[in-house]
Structure 1
Amino acid sequence: MAQKLINPTKKVDRKSFADFLAAQPDLADELADALSDMVHASTETGKVSELTLKVKLKPLGGTSGQVELDTDVKAKLPQPARGKTLMFATPSNNLQRENPKQQTLDGLRTADQEASAQTELRQAPKDSNVEPLRAVH
């Protein structure tokens, strides 16, 4: 039967995990960024996210007490739901939004054309008789 190793360090002498992170500011910043991304992604999608911190500790030979640390931070973020699009296959095996078998009516625009027309910038007519607006405090 394997013998369990007992830590000789008293609990009052052990440093906290926060002290470990404070000694490695780049790791702490990476974790903070990942946590912020998780909160944003989860609140936007309503789905679960996950953060994993992996710490590998390798003792270097000798009695110097040196150890090599290898850390890895992985955040598993939920992806937003993608919408679906209805398209039509053409005789030449391409996809398009309009039905190629349906006649087009002159003067009508598709939803895409209407949306682009709505977002075009319009210029107000220049009237020299109108005073400019003043700030009111």
Structure 2
Amino acid sequence: MSAHTFTTSVAWAGSTATGYDDYSREHELTMASASVLASSDAAFLGDARLPNPEQLLVAAASSCQMLSFLAVAARARLDIVDYRDEAVGEMPEGERPMWVTRIVLRPQITLGNPAPRAKVERLVEIAHRECFIAQSVRSEIVLEPVLVGVTD
């Protein structure tokens, strides 16, 4: 059985000789042909204007949930016309070592044609179980969907 592989590269140049407070946190992430300038979180002396690894983790969980849901909805012949998510990752400072303990996904899903709420909620859960990212991380991933165009 073959395995899927996903490659990325990271590049940083500078000097840490001046100590923790003074080196640049900016680095370049490359995935396929897309390149993103990133940094550490501002709390760790990074540039708040740039994405950080924790945001990228939350974005990956959100994107994967959406793609998984659209796939299961399409297989179930549901007409999804809009999907938006405002996801939040939580990383408590009291945890040592620190880690993203919880990711809350709040997708707002709009249907083009009415469907039973229970059916759509079941498909949201199936998508969660099928999401590769959700199955790959130890963080709790909580789903709080808002469904528009469902019937009760």
Which structure has the higher relative contact order (CA within 8 Å, separation 6+)? 2
Question: TM-score by structure 1 length?
Answer: 0.31
Q: Hey, which of these two has a bigger chunk of strand by percent? A: 2
Larger radius of gyration: 1
